[in-house]
């Protein structure tokens, strides 16, 4: 059975994209699912979070994109780091991913490279989580075309709504040419119920998005920052913290979709 592919993306940075990728992946792993996390962001935040540093990498996802199709089955095992983060395997990113637009040159079917390469390994996992770059380009296109579900973390802040509009513009353009529309759900993040602005943005999101919004709301929790500093996930610090319980609930919602 093939893995379900979850792309976590928003064209605005700082909305909890990498935190969502890591913590949702960890929550699914804790429920007995086999998880592979792909760090598609050239900033490689998820890779660095796992204490994997650029100078020690002999291969990264950049190599997958540049390799010929026949090389993928042998290449994936050299890239994937087993159990890099609490039960999750990780395929590290690289700053060289930012050069992909140029590196691809005249390559055919460049938008489906990731989807095709993942077919080699998807039988080994239940979910593949894609931590996407925060801008439109060939990397994000590859992620969206590979995804069974696009998860959009949206900070409950008025400025974050602008990034959502940009992403929807991209989806609208892609859906015109795709055989099937990209399925998506948004999740509110960094919610502080004490702040009236957060409450207003959440109400606006719920009114505008309806069923396209997960019921789970991710609240602010200092444990996320601690987890980043320690190179672990929130579950290693306090599995019963507010943030941990929120991502447990989100994982349950994701599992109910299939």
- The predicted pLDDT at position 238 comes to 95
- The three-state secondary structure class of 93 is coil
Whether the per-residue pLDDT at 116 is higher than 90: the answer is yes
The percent of residues above 90 in pLDDT, for the chain, comes to 67
- Greater confidence (253 vs 196) lies with 253
Q: How confident is the model at residue 1 (pLDDT cuts 50, 70, 90)?
A: confident
Distance CA 68, CA 66 (A): 7
For residue 247, name the pLDDT band (cuts at 50, 70, 90). very high
Q: What is the pLDDT of residues 118-160, one digit of tens each?
A: 999 999 999 999 999 988 789 999 999 999 999 999 888 877 7
9-68 pLDDT tens trace: 987 666 788 999 999 999 999 999 999 999 999 999 999 999 999 888 999 999 999 999
31-35, 96-100, 177-181: least confidently modelled range: 177-181
What's the CA gap between 2 and 223, in Å, rounded? 33
* Alpha-carbon torsion, ordered 226, 217, 11, 17, to 10 deg: 30
CB burial of residue 109 (10 Å; 0-12, 13-18, 19+): exposed
Distance CA 7, CA 124 (A): 18
At residue 175, the pLDDT reads 86
How many separate domains does the chain show? 1
User: 213: domain CATH number?
Assistant: 3.40.50.300
Both tokens assigned to 55? 């100078």
Position with higher pLDDT, 108 vs 26: 26
Tell me which residue range forms the domain holding 28. Answer: 4-256
What distance in Å separates the CA atoms of residue 144 and residue 6, rounded to the nearest whole number? 9
Reply yes or no on whether the pLDDT at 240 is more than 90: yes
Q: What is the pLDDT of residue 135?
A: 80
């Amino acid at each position: 059975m093939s893995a379900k592919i979850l792309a976590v993306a928003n064209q605005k940075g700082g909305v909890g994209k990498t935190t969502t990728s890591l913590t949702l992946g960890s929550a699914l792993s804790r429920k007995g699912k086999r998880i592979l996390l792909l760090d598609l962001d050239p900033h490689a935040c998820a890779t660095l979070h796992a204490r994997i540093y650029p100078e020690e990498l002999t291969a990264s996802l950049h190599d997958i994109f540049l390799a010929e199709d026949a090389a993928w089955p042998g290449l994936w095992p050299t890239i994937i780091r087993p159990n890099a983060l609490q039960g999750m395997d990780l395929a590290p990113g690289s700053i060289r991913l930012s050069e992909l637009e140029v590196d691809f040159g005249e390559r055919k079917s460049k938008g489906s490279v990731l989807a095709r390469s993942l077919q080699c390994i998807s039988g080994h996992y239940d979910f593949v989580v894609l931590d996407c770059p925060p801008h439109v380009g060939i990397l994000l296109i590859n992620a969206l075309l590979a995804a069974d579900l696009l998860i959009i973390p949206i900070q409950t802040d008025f400025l974050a709504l602008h990034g959502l509009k940009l992403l929807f513009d991209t989806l609208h353009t892609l859906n015109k040419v795709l055989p099937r529309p990209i399925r998506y759900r948004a999740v509110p993040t960094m919610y502080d119920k004490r702040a009236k602005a957060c409450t207003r943005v959440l109400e606006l999101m719920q009114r505008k998005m309806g069923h396209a919004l997960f019921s789970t709301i991710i609240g602010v929790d200092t444990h996320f920052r601690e987890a980043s500093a320690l190179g672990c996930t929130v579950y290693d610090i306090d599995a019963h913290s507010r943030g941990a319980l929120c991502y447990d609930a989100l994982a349950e919602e994701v599992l109910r979709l299939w």
